[in-house]
């Protein structure tokens, strides 16, 4: 008789949930990294703009160029603030996904433990049945010899 865990379908379902939670966490972490990269790019862009402005400070720049530089700097700062806000939101999402994954992992671990216990119980019952069968065979052989 083969071992059949009665909660196997539940275990498989929980394993699928855990795998999906892992994938969602990875996607969320990738998005988090993209936002961090965007923040670094914006910082680098602003540094380049400030460097350009410092390098050309001794030259007389027309008002349109100065206005464009100032507008671009304001745009970069606004984009940076928006990205910081998005980074905070994404960090919260990553933490939520991590908590979901931990819960799924715990659920799977509990079912794995139950499966291990059920297997041990099955093996013990199987050993008892085998011993009873061996006892019957021995008794039958003994009784046959006496006749």
From first to last of its 147 residues, what are the pLDDT tens digits of the chain? 788 889 999 999 999 999 999 999 999 999 999 999 999 999 999 999 888 888 877 777 788 888 888 899 999 999 999 999 999 999 999 999 999 999 999 999 999 999 999 999 999 999 999 999 999 999 888 888 876
Contact criterion met (CB below 8 Å) for 90 and 24: no
CATH of the domain at 67: 1.10.287
Quote the CA–CA distance of 72 and 49 in Å, as a whole number.
9
How far apart CA 134 and CA 11 sit, in angstroms, is: 35
Asked whether residue 28 is domain-assigned, the answer is yes
Report if residue 110 sits inside a domain. yes
Instruction: Answer yes or no: is 1 within a domain.
Output: no
The answer, as to whether pTM is greater than 0.85, is no
pLDDT score recorded for residue 20: 96
Residue 90 lies inside a defined structural domain of this protein: yes
User: What percent of the chain is modeled with pLDDT above 70?
Assistant: 99
Residue 2 lies in a domain: no
Question: Does residue 53 sit within a domain?
Answer: yes
Domain that holds residue 66: 8-146
Report the pLDDT value the prediction gives residue 65, as an integer from 0 to 100: 84
Q: How many domains does the chain have?
A: 1
């Amino acid at each position: 008789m083969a071992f059949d865990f009665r909660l196997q379908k539940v275990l498989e379902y929980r394993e699928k949930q855990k795998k999906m939670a892992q994938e969602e966490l990875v996607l969320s972490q990738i998005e988090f990294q993209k936002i961090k990269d965007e923040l670094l790019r914006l910082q680098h862009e602003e540094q380049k703009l400030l460097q350009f402005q410092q390098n050309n400070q001794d030259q007389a720049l027309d008002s349109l160029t100065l206005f464009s530089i100032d507008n671009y700097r304001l745009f970069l700062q606004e984009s940076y603030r928006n990205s910081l806000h998005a980074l905070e939101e994404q960090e919260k999402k990553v933490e939520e996904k991590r908590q979901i994954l931990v819960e799924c992992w715990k659920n799977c671990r509990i079912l794995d433990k139950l499966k291990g216990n059920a297997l041990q119980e099955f093996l013990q019952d199987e050993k008892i049945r085998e011993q009873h069968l061996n006892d019957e065979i021995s008794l039958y052989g003994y009784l046959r010899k006496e006749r």
